[in-house]
Amino acid sequence: MSLLNKLLHFVVVSSRRHDIDETHGLSHSMNVLNFAHNILEAEKKNFPYLEEQERIIYVSAAIHDMCDKKYMNEEDGIQEINAFLKEKMFPEQVDAVKRIITTMSYTKVKQNGFPQLHEYQMAYHIVREADLLSAYDFDRCMLYNIHKQIEVNKSQELKFMDAFNNANELFQNRVLKHEKDGLFITNYSKSHYLPLHIEAVRRIQTWKNIIRKPII
């Protein structure tokens, strides 16, 4: 079985074990992998050494949410990741993966700034920005809020408007300010975020129009 097969299988198994919903599970991992690949291919022209770090980048992109504190104790997740990777990568590579995925979240970057990962700094930005680009999916943000509602409220009726409002607030205060807040370092992200931004704004307006329909 190729490493890609094993990585995606690990994401599926970990998601089931920790009740990680679809917004941070396999579909999200695949989206981040695609963005990471595109950024990497573009940035290798200026940073050819990245070719030697491809495995670190792809692994980090695939499993970055398998230690997310929204779903588990972060240290427990890191231990599971370490056990999974220890026979598939060199110790230095495993350490680089762990350093990338434990410092790349939006919240940690806003609180602490970018970490100093030295030779893996660009690899870090590639994975981090791939995750940021995937965050422009407004429906994914609403789905996360819907899943949290169901988890907390159990049998109570779903309040879709609350899910929309929470997602819209996050987009207005965070996602739609990614570029303005200086979160994009790579040329690829700087030149490709805008269509995603525009589509997110359109999607928000479409949902507003649907919500206003008296027939539903």
Q: Is residue 128 part of a domain?
A: yes
Q: Which candidate, 131, 189, 140, 195, places its Cα nearest to that of 167?
A: 140
Q: Is residue 65 part of a domain?
A: yes
Q: What does the pLDDT read at residue 216?
A: 78
Q: Is residue 114 part of a domain?
A: yes
Average pLDDT for the chain: 96
Q: Is residue 121 part of a domain?
A: yes
Count Cβ atoms below 10 Å from residue 118 Cβ, excluding itself: 9
Domain that holds residue 151: 3-211
Q: Is residue 53 part of a domain?
A: yes
Q: Is residue 132 part of a domain?
A: yes
Structural domain count, the chain = 1
- Which whole number is the average pLDDT over 174-193? 97
Q: Is residue 90 part of a domain?
A: yes
Residue 105 is classified by DSSP as S
**Token pair 């300010």 is at which residue?**
177
Q: What does the pLDDT read at residue 158?
A: 85
Q: What does the pLDDT read at residue 155?
A: 60
Backbone angles phi, psi at 211, to 5 degrees: -60, -35
Distance CA(39)–CA(48), nearest Å, equals 13
Q: Is residue 216 part of a domain?
A: no
CATH number where 89 lies? 1.10.3210
Find the range with the poorest average confidence among 146-155, 165-174, 176-185: 146-155
Q: Which candidate, 215, 214, 175, places its Cα nearest to that of 197?
A: 175
**Token pair 């056990």 is at which residue?**
83
pTM over 0.85: yes
